[in-house]
């Protein structure tokens, strides 16, 4: 007799974990939102001004990335190294929610975007996703030195203008990779800036905004608690340095060598209070940081294609965010 496996965790329609350790990431939320979590196949021919391809960064680990290349005459484009969100547990670089935003961003700047397929928890607990992000930066360094070759990047990428960008938990990875990069010589690559967008900075104790701000399709208290419990090393709380870089267990911010930051916060983000706590510590440490606030918006609003298409305010705020990133990149 085959024993039926039992459900251990169910996280807001996004993920289910069973007692045998297996994980099911089939979307079980509203069917009309499923398309945003569907993979988009790479296309090396230009569609709406962008071509995409998937490449293997590391043959041994199988680490991969998706590259977005704009159809522009510029000889060299800045390189944006992108870390997707998903609470370290869900989503991947080829999902439509990222495709619709990062094709638009790559075309607007214009820039090449390199989006890393991060290993998910709970199968790969932290710091696995941070290690993947750092490995991708070191791969870009090897390309810049001519030690390895990726035709699109070696032909079109400006390794003197490399930027990190990350959505939600990807913003945590931006901080972690930027921190690690401060301890090594990246030459001839130059890390020109970092853009954490609505990073998943939290504390073990609930913040005021977590208790008062509305939940959104891309962030619920259930997701904050359960995803991070699944992702963090066993026995750790949300006060871990990866999720709470402003906490006492993290290296003091003033001791870190960080690139210029464009720090993006949504006014109605549930975790706004702890996100702003990180910003205030950056300012106090005299770090080069610009704050960009999206008014009336919730967590990762710019990835919600339904809202962009149906709500003029979300559409306008998404356009403003893209313009803000463009301005930041063009001046660095």
Walk across the sheet containing 7-11 and list its strands.
7-11, 15-18, 23-24
Q: Residue 177: which domain range?
A: 40-331
Using 50 as the pLDDT threshold, list the residues of the chain that sit under it: none
Residue 26 lies in a domain: no
Q: Report the sign of the C-alpha dihedral through residues 264, 223, 128, 179, in that order.
A: positive
Residue 136 lies in a domain: yes
pLDDT of 321: 98
Q: Is 194 left (phi over 0), alpha (psi -120 to 50) or beta?
A: beta
* 68: CB partners within 8 A, 6+ apart: 50, 51, 52, 102, 103, 106, 112, 113, 114, 115
Judge whether 94 counts as a catalytic residue: no
pLDDT of 1: 57
Residue 32 lies in a domain: no
- The residue from 269, 273, 294, 300 that is catalytic is 269
Q: Within 13 Å, how many C-alpha atoms sit on residue 189's CB side?
A: 30
Task: Read off the DSSP letter of residue 165.
Answer: E
Residue 232 lies in a domain: yes
pLDDT of 75: 81
Judge whether 158 counts as a catalytic residue: no
Residue 27 lies in a domain: no
The CATH number that applies at residue 264 is: 3.40.50.1820
Give residue-wise pLDDT tens across range 312-321: 999 999 999 9
- The residue from 12, 91, 115, 168 that is catalytic is 168
pLDDT of 74: 76
Give residue-wise pLDDT tens across range 22-47: 999 999 988 988 999 999 999 999 99
pTM higher than 0.75:
yes
Rounded distance, CA 16 to CA 24, Å?
A: 5
Residue 253 lies in a domain: yes
Residue 23 lies in a domain: no
Number of domains in the chain: 1
Rounded distance, CA 300 to CA 318, Å?
A: 10
pLDDT of 29: 86
Tell me the CA distances in angstroms from 170 to 151, 210, 297, one per residue in order: 26, 19, 19
End-to-end CA, the chain: 64
pLDDT of 73: 82
Residue 25 lies in a domain: no
Query: How many C-beta atoms lie closer than 10 Å to residue 248's C-beta?
Result: 8
Provide the CA 271 distance to its chain's centre, in angstroms: 16
What is the length of the chain? 332
Are residues 271 and 202 in contact, defined by beta-carbon separation less than 8 angstroms? yes
């Amino acid at each position: 007799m085959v024993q039926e496996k039992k459900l251990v965790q169910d996280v807001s329609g996004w993920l289910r974990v069973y007692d045998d350790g297996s994980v099911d990431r089939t979307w079980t939320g509203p069917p009309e939102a499923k398309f945003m979590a569907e993979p988009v196949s790479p296309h090396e021919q230009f569609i709406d001004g962008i071509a995409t391809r998937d490449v293997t960064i590391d043959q041994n680990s199988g680490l991969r990335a998706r590259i977005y290349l704009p159809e522009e005459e510029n000889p060299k484009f800045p390189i944006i190294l992108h870390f997707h969100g998903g609470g370290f547990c869900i989503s991947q670089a080829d999902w439509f929610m990222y495709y619709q935003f990062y094709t638009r961003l790559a075309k607007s700047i214009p820039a090449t975007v390199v989006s890393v397929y991060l290993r998910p928890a709970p199968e790969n607990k932290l710091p696995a996703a941070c290690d993947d992000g750092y490995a991708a930066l070191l791969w870009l360094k090897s390309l810049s030195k001519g030690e390895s070759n990726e035709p699109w990047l070696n032909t079109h990428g400006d390794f003197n203008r490399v930027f990190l960008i990350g959505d939600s938990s990807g913003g945590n990875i931006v901080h972690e990779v930027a921190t690690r990069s401060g301890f090594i010589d990246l030459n001839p690559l130059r890390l020109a800036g970092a853009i954490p967008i609505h990073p998943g900075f939290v504390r073990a104790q609930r913040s005021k905004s977590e208790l008062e701000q509305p939940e959104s399709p891309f962030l619920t208290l259930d997701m904050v608690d359960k995803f991070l419990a699944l992702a963090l090393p066993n026995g750790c709380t949300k006060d871990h340095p990866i999720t709470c870089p402003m906490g006492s267990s993290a290296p003091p911010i003033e001791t870190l060598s960080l690139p210029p930051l464009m720090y993006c916060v949504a006014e109605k983000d549930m975790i706004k209070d702890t996100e702003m706590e990180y910003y205030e510590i950056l300012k106090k440490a005299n770090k080069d940081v610009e704050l960009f606030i999206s008014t009336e918006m919730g967590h990762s609003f710019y990835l919600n294609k339904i809202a962009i298409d149906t709500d003029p305010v979300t559409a306008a705020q998404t356009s403003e965010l893209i313009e803000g990133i463009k301005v930041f990149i063009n001046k660095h």
